[in-house]
Structure 1
Amino acid sequence: MLKCNHVNYIGKKYNILIIEDAQTINNYIFKTLSNMGHSCDQSFEFSKAQSYLEEKDYDYVLLDLNLPYLSGYDLYNEIRKLTDAKVMILSAETDTEQREALFKLGVVDYIVKDNHFNEAVEELGNIFCKLEQNNDATILVIDDSKFLQISIKKILNARNYRIVPAYTGEEGIQKLHENDVNMIILDMELPDARGLDILRKIKKEKHFSNIPVMILSGTNNPETIRDSYKAGAFDYISKPFNVEELVLKVDMSVDADRKNTEILCKQQLLNEYKDAVDRSSIVSKTDLKGIITFVNDKFVEISGYSKDELIGKPHNMVRHQDMPKEAFKDMWETIQNKKPWYGKVKNRKKDGGHYWVNTVINPIVDYDGKVVEYIGIRSDITEMEDIKEELEQNLNITSKNFSEAYKLSKEYERAIDSSNILSRTDISGKITYVNDKFIEISGYSEDELLGNTHRILKHPDNSAQIYKELWKTISSGKVWNGQLMNRTKDGKTYYVDSSIIPIFDEAENIIEYLAIRHDVTDIVTFHQELEDTQKEVIHKMGEVGESRSKETGYHVKRVAEYSKLLAMLAGLGKKNSELLYSASPMHDIGKVGIPDSILKKPGKLTDKEWIIMRSHCGAGYNILKKSKRPILKAAAIVAYRHHEKWDGTGYPKGLKGEDIHIFGRITAIADVFDALGSHRVYKKAWELDKILDLFREERGKHFDPKLVDIFLDNIDKFLVIRDKYQES
């Protein structure tokens, strides 16, 4: 069962005791954590710490292992007798045996007082948050060793993980079905089965296929490791394992599961939005020639045709003879120019009857700007339009039946009034009438509206040009149709499809304006949510790809911001710059298929390993290339081209100069600039001057010379982004 309502632990405050005899260090930790909102106490020696611990409950203890008169294991054991708080060690020593032993005893982190000490202290807020998130995580450990089960449970319980033990493959599968598992630690050799067979069985079940599985094995030969990854293992660790390595890989696996769950939840939300529109509107899709490719149930219901009768047929099969050809000519010219068309359409039912629909037809364009299909979203307005037609016919009357016509006109007025958002204004734009639906949606009272103008509802994001065109149209005696974004009294946004109609007297002078509106807020909000969700899913997928190489979500964010800025400065325009901003986080998505033994290798790669590493460009392209969505098509280009070089020495295709897509050339600069300035497992961060010298040297070799010049001329703007999204 997919769980999408996660508890938000960001901002939670903790009681923390700092036990450190160095006053400068103690004060720095105290100030940093207090600024985060935590309640902190300071102690510089054991006796004072003992008093604090006897009087008060703490969530965390930050413990220096070398206090006056007491140190090392003896100090740790004394602290453990006094509190159940989680302990983090502060030490200037690099005794690996001591570190390993303390992790086995339940220490949750080890902070070394070195050049990166300040960064480690500033990261504590995120560590607290992740430890709290671990309360929601369950790890299934399938291993026949009781000693190992006890050891792993003690280590991971200290990090708030819930551990479910299983001693055989059969028991592991059973407990997998009984528990909501976020990660599996699987022994390679079990009494009743091979670990690889259990892994394959888990991956075959759709419900469990996305759960990260870490193999635990006493063998470390390449064949076993290869077979494990090919069978779907997320990670691999050898026995006897290093505790810090185990903790790190478990944290990474659970974090990957969380991100995968977020993506699945967003996809589920997206489907729910689609279902909501499908249930509330009349929807159809056609190809470029107007051939129907999809209709929903409401379309079938109102037209009287079955889906089989509609799909594959031209949309004009429902065209009504009363509709003028000019209307459809205007419709096609509009949508073929990649603009949405709004209007009222009278259609013919299968049985010869008719129905009216308020229609929006949107052209769907791909990355290259080509229209790939059209989608129509409609609402049924048959009752209102039929009343209007009858009204027009019945008002052409003699004085003999005037009384009856007058009564009918009042009934028609009541019907229209009850089903629409109505207002009337004088020729200067002052409101003279609003109906109940207008009052309800705007939040203003009748007294607040009458005598005012519609500026009271004006949304600040609307351009002045819209209103200029509106007034030009209606003051010339024509009807204006369009969509407006308005603001309620309490500041909320709503959207209406509006028809503003000039009313004439007998001398053909305009005497007032009548506005008829329909609330389309849900449909517009859906489109916005659809776009925002798609972007968020892409960023999360990008983070998943980066997290396997121990890079952070901030790398993804910075590359996206750099790419957008460089695209704008290079003259790509707002639309293409926003598209690249959304797509660039996926530049390294292909790395999800690269083994950790290569991806996380701290040393230089062998020739064979380098060939495998370079394959991530093609892998990322293959993941994304079949999508028809503009963002994912752009992401496919970025993934495939960002390692090409201007002089043709790059990969995977060895393209040269402007044969490399501009998105790939821009992302290459953004990615390299951020990578060189960031710490990696295989290198330290470069100084800024050294980075800029490299770009000058590689101008016209690795990088597009024009883009390099733009980048260097505007380096201050890129540094603002770098400083804004620093690792916390």
Structure 2
Amino acid sequence: MSEDFLFSDEEIEEVEQDSLGTWKILIVDDEPEVHAVTKLALSDFEFQEKRLEFISAYSGSEAKQLINQHPDAAIVLLDVVMETDDAGLKVAEYIRHEAKNHHVRIILRTGQPGQAPERQVIVNYDINDYKSKTELTAQKLFTVVMSSLRSYRDILAIEQSRQGLEKIITASRDIFASHSMETFIHGVIQQLTSLLGSVDKAMYATSLVASSEQKDAKNLVVFAGQGEFEQSEGKSLDQVLSAEQFSACTQALNEKTIIYKDDYLFAHCSSQYNNSALLYISGVPKNLTTTQRHLIEIFAQNVQIAYENVQLQSEIEDTQQELVWRLSEALEQRSNETGNHVRRVSHICYELARGLGLSEQECELVRSASPLHDVGKVGVPDAILHKPGKLDENEWQVMKQHAQKGYTILANSKRPLVQAGATIAQEHHEWWDGSGYPQGKKGQDIHVFGRIVALADVYDALRHRRSYKEPWGKAEVVEEIQRLRGTQFEPKLVDVFIEKLDTLETILARYPD
């Protein structure tokens, strides 16, 4: 060993680590003197304001345990010959193949180069440097550790960028997949928390008028918020922000950039329609990395586009629902029923579907498609539809055809809403015991949408006036539906109906005839 490496083997006092963290160095060697000398030679080493933290292992088996305990080790200074002639090589193989640690830099140190020829080791093992102990002076040790730490730092930066890119892709997917304006901000907060680690408060503000030429923060209103901004929706920014916050907000808007303050930031959000939008986040980490700042920038660019797409999707869905309602209302009025019948049935179906445990997508689908349940009545003569009294047998047979006619009208569509409407039109007059029409289906063979609409339709019809009857009272309707439990209606669905009765009565009050 070189004289540059011959120092006292007294205990080396550990240097107190600062708050910025440390670089972990795992020393693997069966000679205690090597550990002491290495620590002394690197005792004043510092890289990017972080000192070294030394971890010692005196055998290959101990090194394997420690690398599992410290997967964030930056460097392994690894002896080849320890308890066996190839113990160090086995450790290197273990680190790469079993521990799956491809970040740590492995520097092989050997006092017996003949036991592990450099060319063979470099070719066969994934190590990063090979040094003979006789050539590894204090200066050369400093140099190899510095270069290895730089490599390790760059590897971590690449890995963080890769993980950040995955998060951005996931965030964009999740936010763009949202079809509800109500859940939009929650998706934004969730993804920001994933990117930054913690978010205390957040607020998203946007202009009410598209393509506004006035880029003034006062023209922006809070669309959604978290924390103290949760109750500020619809208010202009100058009403909810402090003077300092409003100044930072205005700067971000005017400069179309991200303004960072001590514990919060304002991010200007790009728009495909020239709208103005800002994202406010507080509780962000004080020492944001370059990668994190870049991720925030990318995220902010996508938030407004996602918002506009969600807004457009909501507009399309609302328009579609409005057209379905108006068509159904026209049909209901033709049969002397009020247009609000289909609205009530729609919302009642949603509540019953939720009570049955259907997914949110299924609940929304049955709500949207249920107004089409009587579309087949378009083919029923007026004399039968408007008859004030009871239908005779021939008239009843004609009336029953509306279920199959409704299915025929809607069946050839590839749209999920219309397909659901076809199923509902055909099956909402089937009975749980198999005595319904048009196909006499029974029990679970009846589509759940048909079972739900059947109960919702009867409940609303009984509670309201028809050309052939007066409205029934709440108690009478409940008694009748319970009487039909297990015959006309699914027993579990009747139980849900009873549990939800107060909510369903509220729907009736909200949409009166």
TM bracket, shorter-chain basis: 0.3 to 0.5
Report the structure number with the largest CA radius of gyration: 2
Identify the structure with the greater helix proportion: 2
Identify the structure with the greater strand proportion: 1
Instruction: Give the TM-score of the pair, scaled to structure 2.
Output: 0.46
